[in-house]
Amino acid sequence: MENAIIIRYCEIHLKGKNRGFFEKLLKENIKRSLKGIKCDFIPMHSRYLIENFDDSDYDLIVEKLHKIAGIHTISKALVVDSTFENIFEAAKTLVAEKEGTFKVITNRADKTFSPNSMETSRLLGGKLLELFGKKISVDVNEPSFCVYVDIREDGKSFVYTDVEHCLSGMPVGSAGKGLLLISGGIDSPVAGYMTAKRGMKLDCIHFHSFPYTGEAAKEKVIELTKKVGEYNGGINLYVVSFTHIQEAIHKHCPEEFMITLMRRFMMRIAERLAIQQGDQAIITGESLGQVASQTIESITSSNSVVTMPVLRPLIAFDKIDIIEIARKIDTYETSILPYEDCCTVFLPKFPAIKPNLERVKKAESKLDVEGLIEEAFKNVEKYVF
């Protein structure tokens, strides 16, 4: 009797002719994630199997599988040679730790196995009741647990009781590449996670304002980027100095447009970097109406300087729902650490909530936009996680 983990995938099933492409990507993503852990990875029909791992690595493997987009469910199973006695032994081991109502569900791919599926379930259920009748009883409609028996064509059978839900979504890399604008806040890491979950491979860009923002603020962003990277099969972070741009805006433009103009620079620089890196979209953590810079007028103003699609997965999310996801992906506690962000450094007392695009452009005309962008590009730091 050996331990195995069954991995099932989801929407990939629906992709018709592209199925091979999605399966290959998912397979590569799982293999990459488990690199360095001793185990065998076996592709099977419509699922994958992990075998021959040390029991002490089980939790680590499960933790990693929970971060791979495209995996729908997993089960820890016992694998036995297909005889009724072996199957019963495995079921006995699993049910010894259970109580409540149950039913047995048998799936017989090997049609030469006798008895048939119905009969196997019936006999197995009966024998389990004989043994554990004091703490379990049968309920075929709403059982508190199931005993699953998969009799494979290759002479082996799986027996398991638990089906754990994983991320679902699509394999990372199946939906192109995008550049995430990541700040030290709560929203952008969540936006990145959600986009990665739908299959987009991410790069990240962060703007910092040294010396106005310190090393600790940058470390915080690095920490958040790494967390997002766990769902992305690794990640690149580009850190761009924003100090001169902010100083120039502060010096030459009306205070009310500070944030609006900063956003326009961020978008321009992001688009340029995205093109360089082969990213096909820009992703932000904006949510409609959350702050002054996220009114439709502000979004119109920052959007109008780029032609690349800008994805805003959180646009219609309430903060409370964003926080729930941030907690789930373990970015929340880092995000709320109290370090300054480049946007808070030159925060105006009364920012324009509904900036008029013509007035914004007029304010911006005081600046050497191209020169400032060129300069920012001279000192891009790259981190690979």
Across the chain, the runs of DSSP E, i.e. the strands, are 2-9, 40-44, 47-51, 71-81, 100-108, 136-138, 145-151, 156-160, 164-165, 177-181, 201-208, 236-241, 281-283, 310-311, 381-384
342 is in the binding site of which of Mg ion, ligand ATP, none (Cβ under 5 to 8 A by kind)? ligand ATP
* C-beta of residue 281 within 8 angstroms of C-beta of residue 275: no
Residues that bind ligand ATP (CB under 6 A): 181-183, 185-188, 205-207, 266, 284-286, 290-291, 293-294, 341-343
Least Å distance between CB 341 and Mg ion?
Answer: 5
Binding segment for Mg ion (CB under 5 A), chosen from 76-84, 132-140, 185-193, 272-280, is 185-193
Choose between 188 and 195: whose C-beta lies nearer to Mg ion: 188
Choose between 106 and 284: whose C-beta lies nearer to ligand ATP: 284
Q: Taking the CA atoms of the chain, what radius of gyration do you get in angstroms?
A: 27
Query: Helices marked H in 178-240 — which ranges?
Result: 187-197, 215-229
Choose between 82 and 293: whose C-beta lies nearer to Mg ion: 293
Choose between 7 and 205: whose C-beta lies nearer to ligand ATP: 205
One residue of 33, 82, 106, 183 binding Mg ion per CB under 5 A: 183
* 233 part of the interface to Mg ion, by CB under 5 A: no
* C-beta of residue 146 within 8 angstroms of C-beta of residue 102: yes
Choose between 149 and 186: whose C-beta lies nearer to ligand ATP: 186
Least Å distance between CB 310 and ligand ATP?
Answer: 10
* C-beta of residue 38 within 8 angstroms of C-beta of residue 53: yes
- What tokens appear for 363 in the block? 């304010």
Binding segment for Mg ion (CB under 5 A), chosen from 82-90, 179-187, 197-205, 270-278, is 179-187
Least Å distance between CB 343 and Mg ion?
Answer: 6
Across 82-142, the runs of DSSP E, i.e. the strands, are 100-108, 136-138
* 189 part of the interface to Mg ion, by CB under 5 A: no
Binding segment for Mg ion (CB under 5 A), chosen from 76-84, 138-146, 183-191, 329-337, is 183-191
Residue type, 302: S
- What tokens appear for 28 in the block? 């590569």
- Contacts to Mg ion by CB under 5 A: 183, 185
